[in-house]
Amino acid sequence: MGRQPCCDKLGVKKGPWTAEEDKKLINFILTNGQCCWRAVPKLAGLRRCGKSCRLRWTNYLRPDLKRGLLTESEEQLVIDLHARLGNRWSKIAARLPGRTDNEIKNHWNTHIKKKLLRMGIDPVTHEPLHKDQDDLINKETIISSHTNQANNNLPQSTTENSSSNSSPAENSSSSSSPNENSSGDDQSTLIDSICNVDESLMNSLWVDETPLIDALWNSDQVPDGGDYIENGMGVQSNWEENCSWLLDCQDFGVHDFGMDCFIETELNALDTLGMEKI
């Protein structure tokens, strides 16, 4: 049937966003919350596609985003989650507060992939690259050590679910999971041994839970006890008066613009979940 383009291509600006455009988008979302993205450009006075606005907001302007490279523990968690989920970047990102799927995807392609290759691990299948026995033994050691390390970052609560009858992963129809690519030989046994370590992780991953970020974004825990108003479309606040700080500080980490409270909240939440602080 053919899909209509998401927006009228004529007069729609593309390419890098200007500070002025960012300001308009931030002002609009802080005033109205996140609503119908297609309507955002028109209402906000932007000559952009709604999709582009959504991407700009979620990947760059959101105030709860962390900036900078992933930490070692975050990286380890990404590797472990990728081994289980494949390229489901949004699912992976949901487990890393303040990180976006785009950011994780980029980091995977530019850093982690190469790191794994250097370790002799196929970044797609997470299997050892070389088939001979000696290599197999060596890689098994490497992989199991990094898997165990990653497991230390996982919520303890996941282990409580380990007695679930059937893993959602087992029932999944997803073809992107690297586990399904392995054939029934020694290699698959190795991978199975790796993957069975944290079966319970999958249970928690497959549960449609509200991501931590959203919880924070929607929670009553607000910076400085600001006058937040929950409306039907999202969070509205008196930030409008002060939103220039967002524009001024978008290139810095949250610490740089007084949003430590978000981090505080995240860390508290991680504590509650029994997750390692990053």
Residue ranges in contact with DNA by CB under 7 A? 1, 3-4, 6, 13-17, 35-38, 48-52, 54-56, 59-60, 69, 87-91, 101-103, 105-107, 109-111, 176
Cβ closer to DNA: 12 or 261?
12
**Which one, 124 or 137, has the nearer CB to DNA?**
124
Residue type, 244: S
**In the bound complex, what is the minimum distance in angstroms from residue 53's beta carbon to DNA?**
8
Shortest distance, position 241 Cβ to DNA, whole Å: 25
Place of tokens 């449609």: 208
Nearer to DNA, 49 or 79 (CB): 49
Nearest approach in angstroms of CB 94 to DNA is 7
The amino acid sitting at 99 is: R
Q: Which is nearer to DNA, 185 or 207 (CB)?
A: 207
CA 201 → CA 179, 216, 241, distances in Å? 15, 22, 43
Contact predicate 226/238, CB 8 Å: yes
Query: What's the angle, vertex CA 30, arms to CA 25 and CA 33, rounded to 5?
Result: 95
140 Cβ neighbours under 8 A, 6+ residues apart? 128, 190, 193
Tell the smallest beta-carbon distance from residue 174 to DNA (Å). 9
